[in-house]
Amino acid sequence: MQRKKRVLVTGSSGQLGTTLQKLVQPIDESIEFEFANSKDLDITNLEAVTEFLNKDSFDYCVNCAAYTQVDKAEEDSERALLINQQGAQNLAKACHAYNIVLIHISTDFVFDGTKNTPYLETDRPRPMGIYGHSKFKGEQEVVRNMERYFIIRTSWLYSAYGHNFFKSMLKYGMERDQLSVVFDQVGTPTSAHDLSEVILKIISEEIDAYGIYHFSNEGVASWYDFAAAIFEINHIEVDLRPIRSKDYPTPAERPSYSVLDKSKIKHVLHLRIRHWRRSLAEVSKFME
């Protein structure tokens, strides 16, 4: 009888970790998942990480643990670097020691947004803020400390779980008559459900084309476009007004353009990626 593949998912209480938990329930029985939140496993503690990975024979580790508060990171850089850089280094070292494949989630915020064509995996990262800087440092630690890894950069992640722009807009749309949202930051909303399916495909098909990949849904949108679609699909009437980023200052500067080129992941995994509006409509059904 073939041994089950064992998969550890860190950061299991976040939106991606939660989405993965919901998705793997009906998956085939040849894969066994263990979900660990920050209380179960502190990825910033190398000794704890090493002990945790040593006690079970894991084949894969999916790192969903991250410091994702973009603005707060500007004043909390030590914590952001501890989780996003040191945590990634600890997992990479332990995964390398125990021959575990690491699937590490990163972000479009490693780029500065000065391009006007989709970013390739080979484009040089130039993060603008502490959050992007800490995530890029985490990528470097993974690359430096192991060979069997997938770094998946994604963008504008949302789901029915946790804290994200989608859920915030639903809340504000019900509470307010008028909202202003920036229209000069362009990227692609990405469903955590669709990203989860890509992660599970890598594991179930035992893909071994290791390296850095970009994944988002198809299409391009501004935050204003995204908000408008959220309200339209969920039948919420609100006076939505477009504003420039300079009229809505935030502690962290954000890339004005962070669309990701997905040619590589589509070719390697033979993917057909859904348009962001179609995925948004599906996620919205969970909120009814």
CATH label of the domain that carries residue 148:
3.40.50.720
Is residue 69 domain-resident? yes
Rounded CA gap, 253 and 246, in Å? 10
State residue 2's pLDDT score.
64
128 in Cβ contact with 177 (< 8 Å):
no
Total residue count of the chain as it appears in this document: 288
State residue 25's pLDDT score.
66
Residue 79: which domain range?
A: 5-164+188-218+258-275
Tens-binned pLDDT, residue by residue, of the chain (288 aa): 567 889 999 999 999 999 999 988 655 677 899 999 999 999 999 999 999 999 888 999 999 999 999 999 999 999 999 999 999 999 999 999 999 999 999 999 999 999 999 999 999 999 999 999 999 999 999 999 999 999 999 999 999 998 999 999 999 999 999 999 999 999 999 999 999 999 999 999 999 999 999 999 999 999 999 999 999 999 999 999 999 999 888 999 999 999 999 999 999 999 999 999 999 999 998 875
State residue 62's pLDDT score.
98
State residue 179's pLDDT score.
95
**Pairing state of beta strands 149-154 and 211-214?**
parallel
Is residue 122 domain-resident? yes
| Residues forming the active site | 131
Rounded CA gap, 259 and 262, in Å? 9
Is residue 287 domain-resident? no
The total number of structural domains in the chain stands at 1
Q: What are phi and psi of 196, to 5 degrees?
A: -60, -40
State residue 27's pLDDT score.
58
The tokens describing 33, both together, are 């998942």
State residue 4's pLDDT score.
82
Is residue 98 domain-resident? yes
Is residue 204 domain-resident? yes
Is residue 177 domain-resident? no
The secondary element (H helix, E strand) that includes residue 56 is: none
State residue 287's pLDDT score.
74
Q: Which residue has the tokens 């945790």?
A: 52
Is residue 183 domain-resident? no
State residue 170's pLDDT score.
95
Is residue 140 domain-resident? yes
The string of DSSP letters for 207-256 reads ----EEEE---BS-EEHHHHHHHHHHHTT---EEEEE-GGGS--SS---S
State residue 211's pLDDT score.
98
